[in-house]
């Protein structure tokens, strides 16, 4: 029998796959705007004609899946934003660092792993 957590995870994943159908999804490690901090992110390019509500729902579902996949011991914030013309959006992790304000490369790699697992 599945646990409540497993059932929720499965439900979100099914909805996420449907919401991202036809979209181009790219997981990458970028430099924060400050230029000194690594930031794992998923950038999604939606097909022309995708409504703002469909786009927003897809980004929220992806953020929910990332939250569900983030280990409890990680102190990260999951954020989302719509980019430029509205056909692109991103989910990114604000890494709060282990023992200080700057995340390590290892922490950034763990963040990337979580983002990849959220899309499986």
CATH assignment, 4-118: 3.30.1460
Query: Over the Cα atoms of the chain, what is R_g?
Result: 15
Domain ranges of the chain: 4-118
Residue 61 · residue 19 · CB < 8 Å? yes
Q: Give residues with Cβ within 8 angstroms of 59, minimum separation 6.
A: 44, 80, 82, 89, 91
* pLDDT band per the 50, 70, 90 thresholds, residue 34: low
Give the separation between CA 80 and CA 61, rounded to whole angstroms: 11
- The predicted pLDDT at position 1 comes to 59
User: How do residues 40-83 score in pLDDT, each as one tens digit?
Assistant: 999 999 999 999 999 999 999 999 999 989 999 998 999 999 99
Closest C-alpha among 104, 79, 107 to residue 94:
79
- The predicted pLDDT at position 31 comes to 82
Helical segments of 1-120, H only: 4-19, 52-69, 105-118
Residue 42 · residue 115 · CB < 8 Å? yes
- The predicted pLDDT at position 99 comes to 59
């Amino acid at each position: 029998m599945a646990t409540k957590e497993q059932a929720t995870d499965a439900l979100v994943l099914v909805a996420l796959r449907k919401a991202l159908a036809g979209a181009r999804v790219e997981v990458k490690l970028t430099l924060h705007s400050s230029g000194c901090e690594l930031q794992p992110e998923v950038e999604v390019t939606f097909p022309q004609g995708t409504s703002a509500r469909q786009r927003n729902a897809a980004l929220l579902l992806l953020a929910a899946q990332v939250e569900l996949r983030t280990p409890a011991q990680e102190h990260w914030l999951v954020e989302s934003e719509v980019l430029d013309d509205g056909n692109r959006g991103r989910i990114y992790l604000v890494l709060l660092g282990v023992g200080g304000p700057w995340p390590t490369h290892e922490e950034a790699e763990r963040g990337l792993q979580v983002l990849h697992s959220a899309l499986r």
